[in-house]
Amino acid sequence: MKNFNNSNEEALRESLLNVQRLRAKEKCALKQSETLIKGLQILNESTSVSDIYEQILGTLQHVIPFDSAAILIETADGNLSSVVCTDDRLKFSRIPITGVFQRCLNGKSAVLNQLSRVQEWPSGSSAPDDTLSSAILVSLTGLAQSTLIICAGTDRHKLRREDLSLLTTFIPLATQAVKRTGEIEELNMLVSKLDYYAHYDMLTGLPNRTLFDIRLEQELSTPDNEFAVLFLDVDDFKNINDTYGHHTGDVLLSEIAFRFTGVIDKSDTIARMGGDEFALIIRGGKDIESLNALCERMLTRVSHPVYLSMNCIEPSVSIGMVTPAQNSGSAQLIMQNADIALYDAKHRGRGCFSLFNLQMKNRLNRSNEIEKRLKTALAKNELRLAYQPIVSSKSLWCELVEVLVRWEVDGVAQFYPDEFIPIAERTGVIREIGKWIFSKALEDLLQWLTDDVRRTVAINISDIQLYEPDFSMQLLTIATSVGIDPVQIELELSERIVASEINNTVSDNLEALQKSGFRFSFDDFGTGQSSFLNLQKFPGTTLKIDKTFVDEVEQSNDQRKLLMGIVNFAHSLDLLVVAEGVETDAQLRILQGMGCDYIQGYLLAKPMRLNDFIAGYSQIAICGDTEHIERKAG
């Protein structure tokens, strides 16, 4: 009986111990579950994959008794490398994926109790007195990159299969968290990339117009802030694109952008606004002298030759500037003023800079008004023709008349020709106006021209018209319909045409007009880039010397020598010479002495209406010592 009672007591104690063990395991399991749940909550709050890897190891550290742990991923070269580790003992790089590593990545988890016997395990990864003996290896499947978790211990019996089971249970949840975080990270990267695309220029890497506008608004919103704004444009960039190709143009823009960044301070902003336009915000309240010096440095730096595709390009830019004192308005007004200053710099000859002032704005407003009204001026009969005699320097007979255009409303001049003609050319309206001038002039002068076959009418032709493929046919058709022989029509070409390269359309028009009998003269010679070498390319008969050469001929001996040289050289090319802007008797006598063929100017006659010209065209003679000018009926 006593033995029976002892046996019952032992069984009861064993049962109690089992209950305590189960409760301990249950308590441990509950603690582990709570730890894993908290860990998963932390994982779900992570915003980057690298952060979530660290959180995985931190969570496992509370439930698995490892001494060292790491997460390894497969790199681009096909090996495994540690991306996160608790210490340097598992800090591996370029581990070949073989043996146990290969099996684990294929889905077979492993518990290794003797790492020294694992042939593929990297050697020299820990100090001799701190050697890792055991390890658990589990892969995170379903990720873009092969990923492996290693938990290792210094005691070969420290890590057990229960720990592997716990880790295996945790892995799917951790994998989902990694996937979710990876997607968020990719989304964030995409958002960052889109944000970059929205605020930076893809060609040059500079801020774009959007970011520039943001920074300009920031500068304006800062109290007592002083800054300058520069607006820049690459000169003749369209011609560079057309000549060398858009790829070369893009490379040139990148080089120019790089040169800009080497001139300004890091606190300044330079942006590509689009096309060949750039803008700068210069901070620090620099004075006018400093800003002028900055513009000069930029112009100099940009102008250095650029060698692209076996071609040497010498770029230049024009700059419009608004100073700190002028930055009291809105961002839109500031940029508008900078653009106006840029337009002024372009108008002055390019490769220079202009400081904004109100006079520029007034000129631009006037130009805009002209452009707007010019579109309807012809339809409203606001344009009229004026006629200025050109006389022989020997006989003083009027054998030639130049046709000029005037813009009047009710007899009151609206705008001067040197104002509206360039705008008409820029907008293309000159094609319609030029055709009207040609037709109207021939109709007006029909009787005067047919009375004497020696008489000629000179009509200005814009180079814009010469680029029309059927231009020569237009003029010939009009002349034929009116009944005037083309040999009595002289077309005045601007010096711009003479100085520029002639394309096929212009060349074909000039050739067709010459064959039809039209004559050519070169107007305002000496005011631009033309030379006598250019003249040899054109089928001209007459050279018109600009008024600027005549003005000082009385006072300057050098001017007389220069004028004499032009006359002689023109004659050597079989060109007749017309001197424009003759206003004094002395100028007339000097030009006659030089052998100038024709004279034009206010001394002889101002431009006049058709009726006045028809009634008063005549020889103009200087009578004896009184130097009195009188008209004699022709």
Percentage, residues of the chain above pLDDT 70:
86
Beta carbons within 8 Å of 243's beta carbon, 6+ residues apart: none
Does residue 584 carry a pLDDT above 60?
Answer: yes
pLDDT at site 254: 94
Does residue 327 or residue 322 have the better pLDDT? 322
**Rounded to whole angstroms, what are the CA distances from 125 to 68, 88, 211, 411, 572?**
12, 8, 50, 101, 95
Equal CATH topology for 32-186 and 368-633:
no
Band (pLDDT 50/70/90 cuts) for residue 1 is low
The alpha carbon dihedral of 605, 608, 611, 612 has a sign of negative
CA 376-378-380 angle, to 5 degrees, is: 70
pLDDT at site 102: 92
Does residue 413 carry a pLDDT above 70?
Answer: yes
pLDDT at site 13: 63
Whether 629 contacts 604, CB under 8 Å: yes
Classify domain 32-186 at the CATH superfamily level: GAF domain (3.30.450.40)
Band (pLDDT 50/70/90 cuts) for residue 482 is very high
Percentage, residues of the chain above pLDDT 90:
44
> How far is Cα 580 from Cα 319, in angstroms, rounded to an integer?
36
pLDDT at site 631: 38
- 228 closest CA partner among 318, 345, 341, 361: 341
> What average pLDDT does the segment 275-287 reach?
90
Token look-up 């893809």 returns 202
Band (pLDDT 50/70/90 cuts) for residue 628 is very low
> What average pLDDT does the segment 168-194 reach?
77
Whether 220 contacts 212, CB under 8 Å: no
Residue type, 450: T
Band (pLDDT 50/70/90 cuts) for residue 38 is low
Does residue 126 carry a pLDDT above 50?
Answer: no
Band (pLDDT 50/70/90 cuts) for residue 528 is low
For 629, the token pair is: 């000018």
Q: What are phi and psi of 390, to 5 degrees?
A: -125, 120
For 245, the token pair is: 């190709």
> How far is Cα 620 from Cα 389, in angstroms, rounded to an integer?
10
- 614 closest CA partner among 634, 592, 587, 594: 634
pTM of the model: 0.62
Band (pLDDT 50/70/90 cuts) for residue 191 is confident
Does residue 15 carry a pLDDT above 70?
Answer: no
Does residue 84 carry a pLDDT above 70?
Answer: yes
**Residue spans per domain, the chain:** 32-186, 209-356, 368-633
Token look-up 């409203």 returns 380
pLDDT at site 62: 78
> What average pLDDT does the segment 426-440 reach?
94
Does residue 16 carry a pLDDT above 90?
Answer: no
pLDDT at site 350: 81
Give the mean pLDDT of the chain.
Answer: 84
pLDDT digits 0-9 by tens, 328-374: 778 899 999 999 999 999 988 889 999 998 888 888 889 899 999 99
CA 354-359-360 angle, to 5 degrees, is: 45
Classify domain 209-356 at the CATH superfamily level: Reverse transcriptase/Diguanylate cyclase domain (3.30.70.270)
Q: What is the CATH number of domain 368-633?
A: 3.20.20.450
Give 383-394 as a 3 state SS string: EEEEEEEEEECC
